[in-house]
């Protein structure tokens, strides 16, 4: 609920050429939030009971929302300032807002095929993201005979290294690729595919190799959350519709992630066989599903090459 208005504010106060760095910093919320969730929820549930696992995070969200309501600024024009495109001399990107109401901008987002291609590319990314988050610990336990603590420790490399991927994404695209997001996104998707392919090829008993593979996945996912998760949508939309563009991509991504999680569970359960009273799992189809989703994301991201190029010129 907080992502769309936050993105709208970023689009209002920062021009496209300088937005990548700010967006990367803001996107660290994925990693910081997940880390805080694991720590805070564990502490409060242990001290106050399972109900507190819902109430305490909810109260924190209310407090943060109130803080933003009191401190965040409206569009520059509200205070008699020029639009950011005019102030920064970014005239090439100012025409998309001229004479356009917020409602017209939002309708334009829904009619933009590139937004829907991006939403599907992001959704495929989320298949791999939540597959690793939700099932990788179980995979390491069953497929590679890890103890649960060691499986959790190994999986933790994904969000930790993911923070580096998130923070690096915007500056790389801003300063090394002249504000172009698609080429960097393609590099990140290739890294994700490489990490996913490496995971089943590593034999059991090589914890640091598994940690390296999941780290590559985490680094790639962290960067792609910046690009496919919203920054490209903001770049190819008008400033007045940045929140709507982010909302379309976000809703579609989480919807597909929820469906994919059910598919993951079904693939795991359908592969189970009982040998000598013990359940044995074959994870091949699950991994093919994740890799296939990443490959589709790669193809869809490549299809955005022209819209992404226009957004920077």
Is residue 270 predicted with pLDDT exceeding 70?
A: yes
Mean pLDDT of the region 173-196: 91
Name the pLDDT band for 94 (thresholds 50, 70, 90): very low
Per the structure, the complete domain to which residue 186 belongs is given by: 3-310
Contact 172, 230 (CB under 8 A): no
CA distance 4 to 229: 11
pLDDT tens readout for residues 286-304: 999 999 999 999 999 999 8
Please say whether the dihedral angle defined by the alpha carbons of residues 146, 149, 150 and 153, taken in this order, is positive or negative: positive
Q: Is the dihedral of CA 115, 121, 123, 126 positive or negative?
A: negative
Confidence of residue 217 (pLDDT cuts 50, 70, 90): very high
CATH of the domain at 193: 1.20.1250.20
Cα dihedral 137→143→146→148 (10° resolution): 30
Q: For the chain, how many structural domains are there in total?
A: 1
**pLDDT score, position 313:** 47
**Res. 90 pLDDT band, cuts 50 70 90:** low
Segment of 14-18, 75-79, 180-184, 234-238 carrying the highest mean pLDDT? 180-184
Q: In whole angstroms, give the CA distance from residue 148 to residue 143.
A: 12
- Rounded to two decimals, the pTM is 0.80
For 271-284, what is each residue's pLDDT tens digit? 988 888 788 889 99
In whole angstroms, give the CA distance from residue 143 to residue 118.
Answer: 34
């Amino acid at each position: 609920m907080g992502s769309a208005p936050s993105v709208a504010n970023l689009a209002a106060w920062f021009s496209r050429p300088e937005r990548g760095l700010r967006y990367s910093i803001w996107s660290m919320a994925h990693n910081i939030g997940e880390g805080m969730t694991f720590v805070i929820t564990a502490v409060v549930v242990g001290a106050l009971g399972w109900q507190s696992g819902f109430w305490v995070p909810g109260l924190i969200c209310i407090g943060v929302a109130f803080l933003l309501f009191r401190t965040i600024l409206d569009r520059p024009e509200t205070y008699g300032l020029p639009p950011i495109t005019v102030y920064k001399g970014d005239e090439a990107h100012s025409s998309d807002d001229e004479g356009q109401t917020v409602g017209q901008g939002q309708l334009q987002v829904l009619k933009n095929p590139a937004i829907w291609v991006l939403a599907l590319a992001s959704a495929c990314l989320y298949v791999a993201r939540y597959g690793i988050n939700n099932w990788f610990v179980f995979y390491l336990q069953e497929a590679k005979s890890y103890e649960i603590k060691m499986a959790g420790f190994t999986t933790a490399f994904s969000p930790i290294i993911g923070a580096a991927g998130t923070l690096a994404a915007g500056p790389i695209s801003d300063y090394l690729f002249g504000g172009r997001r698609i080429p960097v996104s393609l590099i990140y998707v290739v890294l994700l595919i490489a990490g996913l392919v490496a995971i089943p090829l590593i034999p059991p008993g090589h914890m640091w190799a598994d940690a390296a593979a999941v780290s590559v996945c985490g680094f790639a996912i962290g960067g792609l959350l910046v690009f496919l998760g919203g920054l490209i949508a903001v770049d190819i939309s008008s400033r007045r519709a940045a929140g709507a563009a982010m909302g379309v991509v976000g809703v579609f991504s989480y919807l597909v992630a929820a469906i994919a999680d059910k598919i993951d569970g079904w693939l795991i359960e359908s592969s189970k066989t009982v040998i000598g009273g013990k359940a044995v799992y074959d994870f091949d189809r699950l991994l093919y599903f994740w890799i296939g989703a990443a490959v589709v994301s790669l193809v869809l991201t490549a299809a955005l090459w022209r819209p992404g190029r226009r957004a920077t010129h």
